[in-house]
A and B are shown apart, each in its own frame.
Chain A
């Protein structure tokens, strides 16, 4: 039995289920039409894309279906692009939630875009030339440097997400800081242990906690008003 593929498939299925639920429960908030609500919607979509693309790869692994040499790197690239987009959107979202000034946000966005753009270019180079690193084995071979592409690509957005989540959680609610910090530590440990691809599920859990905080804030906002 393919343990990695089966476990990843269950994780991705759970992530999609949680995200679909969040889409239903946040429909009223989307109608409010603020930028933060739109960004949150984009975050859910990005995570759904990541979970579905990883799910497709897991299904092919479990049932032994070949995706072909052309389709396989493209699906992997979509997965990495989705988690890159997630990390970028998460930073933007947190800035809006922390009520930063618009000028400050406008200055920060290009800075945050740089690592994302580098990752996007790397993926495009890989998909079109296949020279930079092998998406099947996940190993970058550039001169004497040999780094696992999977870790390189997944850890970068995870760190950005994690740092911002901790900062905002600390400001919004110290109570939720413990589970969020634990979540980040476990996410890193499980990614390193490579038991299965836990990233889409963990991203959906980050969003779930953010969603609960938004709903709580909305309730107290009404009470104060």
Chain B
């Protein structure tokens, strides 16, 4: 049995995309990631790809013959899934680079507005034909609004790509998020869908998501499994980045403690802003990497951590002795070198956490 038909080829691509996404969604997750917004956004992207591919398969199955209305409805839903994917991708990019729920909340409306606009327009079109008017059973005439929506859709595709590039230039691969490996298959899928008679976009999206999962799981090797913070291997990586003046870190707090370091990690999670980057190079030492280099703010935060540890001692039997905290700002080359020297001196005497080798 041989089927040389573009519909069957598209069906093959869509089936492969669905299988890839199913596999990725069912891949076991790190327990810390279950309530992570990044995981939920990823699931949103996966659902968009599966829904889009299923709609593509239904459209290609010629179930509705020449009846135009269900075909327009299916194409409407298909467009919503593609734009929905781009919307979730934008959210994921934001969260991957800034790791802040507050930042995501602040920009959510701006990300949602074009998606909502296009969704409303294409839904109205399905009933009122404002984008294209059917001339007969097969031919449709596009209206001016159709081109306007097309431009917004294209921008939705290219704005995340430009945003990826901008963040990549500014922050590098700081969050183990490799934008190019994700963007290339997505863009290739869209371009191939335009230049060939097949719909390859969902396979491209699925491949992009596969790379996203690769990079996410790759970051696990930099996590200290007992505290959920980053380990010493990550600190070495970050120190190199600070020395090269890359990334957004402007200061740090080195906190020395005695006692239960897992209990102290819980104190830090309560006291520090959500999405803060903390490294545990050894059991008695925590390094908070700050996005601010203001020494007054860093000192205030260090005092707050000390108070948190004292309050914890009053409520819990597992004692923590907060010894001291050193704050450093990376304002110039000299300050950076001094901060790195101080940190290296302190961590050289600790018992290491995490792993340098797998």
Indicate whether A and B interact: yes
Q: Are A219 and B3 in contact (CB under 8 A)?
A: no
Query: How many chain B residues touch A (Cβ–Cβ < 8 Å)?
Result: 48
CB neighbours (8 Å) of A13 from chain B are 188
**A25-B214, A195-B12, A219-B220 given; A182·B22 CB < 8 A:** yes
Report which of B12, B210, B221 forms a contact with A7, defined as CB distance below 8 A. Answer: B12
The answer, yes or no, to whether B197 is at the interface (CB within 8 Å) is yes
The answer, yes or no, to whether B196 is at the interface (CB within 8 Å) is yes
The answer, yes or no, to whether A175 is at the interface (CB within 8 Å) is yes
Interface string of B315-358 (1 = CB under 8 A from A): 00000000000000000000000000000000000000001011
The answer, yes or no, to whether B93 is at the interface (CB within 8 Å) is no
Q: Are B221 and A28 in contact (CB under 8 A)?
A: yes
Report the nearest A residue to B30, measured CB to CB. A219
CB neighbours (8 Å) of A183 from chain B are 19, 23
Stretch at the interface among A69-77, A108-116, A119-127, A209-217: A209-217
At the interface, is chain B mostly helix, strand, loop or mixed? Answer: helix
Segment 200-215 of B: residues with Cβ below 8 Å from A: 200, 203, 207, 210-211, 213-215
Report which of B8, B181, B218 forms a contact with A195, defined as CB distance below 8 A. Answer: B8
Q: Are B28 and A14 in contact (CB under 8 A)?
A: no
The answer, yes or no, to whether A65 is at the interface (CB within 8 Å) is no
Report the nearest B residue to A221, measured CB to CB. B358
A199 to chain B, nearest CB (A): 12
Q: Are B185 and A14 in contact (CB under 8 A)?
A: yes
Interface string of B213-233 (1 = CB under 8 A from A): 111011011010110000000
A194 to B22, CA, bound (A): 23
CB neighbours (8 Å) of B144 from chain A are none
The answer, yes or no, to whether B20 is at the interface (CB within 8 Å) is yes
Q: Are A17 and B184 in contact (CB under 8 A)?
A: yes
A212 to B16, CA, bound (A): 18
Q: Tell me the total A-B contact number using a CB cutoff of 8 A.
A: 123
CB neighbours (8 Å) of A152 from chain B are none
Stretch at the interface among A52-60, A97-105, A153-161, A185-193: A185-193
Interface string of A147-176 (1 = CB under 8 A from B): 000000000000000000000000001011
Report the nearest B residue to A177, measured CB to CB. B26
Segment 56-103 of A: residues with Cβ below 8 Å from B: none
The answer, yes or no, to whether A179 is at the interface (CB within 8 Å) is yes
Segment 210-258 of B: residues with Cβ below 8 Å from A: 210-211, 213-215, 217-218, 220-221, 223, 225-226
CB neighbours (8 Å) of A211 from chain B are 214
Which 6 A-B pairs have CB atoms at the shortest separation, nearest pair first?
Answer: A179-B23, A223-B225, A7-B9, A179-B22, A215-B217, A219-B220
23 chain-A/chain-B pairs, Cβ below 8 angstroms: A3-B4, A3-B197, A7-B12, A10-B196, A10-B198, A11-B16, A14-B203, A21-B210, A25-B215, A31-B357, A175-B27, A182-B22, A190-B15, A193-B8, A194-B3, A196-B12, A202-B16, A205-B23, A208-B20, A212-B24, A222-B225, A222-B358, A223-B226
Beyond A29-B358, A32-B357, A201-B16, 12 extra complex contacts between A and B, CB < 8 Å:
A11-B16, A175-B26, A176-B23, A176-B28, A190-B15, A194-B1, A195-B8, A195-B11, A216-B27, A218-B358, A219-B221, A223-B225
